Amino acid sequence: MRRLDRQTHQRNASRAGTAVVEAAVLLPVLLLIFFGAIDLGVAIQRAGLCHEAARMGARMAVVHGADATEKGPWNGQLAVSAIHDRIDPIMQAAAIDPSHVDVEVTWQATAPRRPINAPGNLVTVKVTINSTHIVSFLRLTPASFSSESRMVIAN
């Protein structure tokens, strides 16, 4: 009887050792999948924010296009600064450093000798977000999300 108990105890101890080895092998793989899924979700969120920021910037440029005499000349750095003022709080709420967000605004005149902010002209806003990955221990290259939005100045 005692011999049977000893064999049962050794078998159970062997099974416990096997479970520890299996956990040691599988746990890193499961953690990698888990954190990879989180990182993918954050990347999708940042890509969506990039698209929305470009749309908001183009909308602002369109609205201020024909009204530039009233609101000041909307070109160059003034437009970029105004768009940053609008999107930076949104980026900060999403844990994105606004200094990692680049905005480019370009106008395209459709007729010669026409002001670039005149109705009928095209405005393009490009937003680029440079961000790091959540899973930093993998030493992945930083991600860059870019989106362009083009609109025609209507009024």
Instruction: Tell whether 61 is covered by a domain.
Output: yes
Instruction: Tell whether 62 is covered by a domain.
Output: yes
Instruction: Tell whether 129 is covered by a domain.
Output: yes
Instruction: Tell whether 78 is covered by a domain.
Output: yes
Residue 82: partners with Cβ closer than 8 Å, 6 or more residues away:
60, 64, 74
**Local confidence band at 1 (pLDDT 50, 70, 90 cut-offs):** low
Gyration radius from the chain CA atoms:
28
Report the range of poorest mean pLDDT among 18-32, 48-62, 127-141.
127-141
Instruction: Tell whether 80 is covered by a domain.
Output: yes
What pLDDT is stored for residue 120 in this prediction?
Answer: 81
Q: Say if residue 74's pLDDT is above 90.
A: no
Instruction: Tell whether 97 is covered by a domain.
Output: yes
Report the range of poorest mean pLDDT among 19-28, 62-71, 119-128.
62-71
Q: Give the count of domains, the chain.
A: 1
Give the range of the structural domain holding residue 98, as residue numbers without chain letter: 40-152
Instruction: Tell whether 3 is covered by a domain.
Output: no
Instruction: Tell whether 25 is covered by a domain.
Output: no
**Predicted TM-score (pTM) of this structure:** 0.74
**Local confidence band at 128 (pLDDT 50, 70, 90 cut-offs):** very high
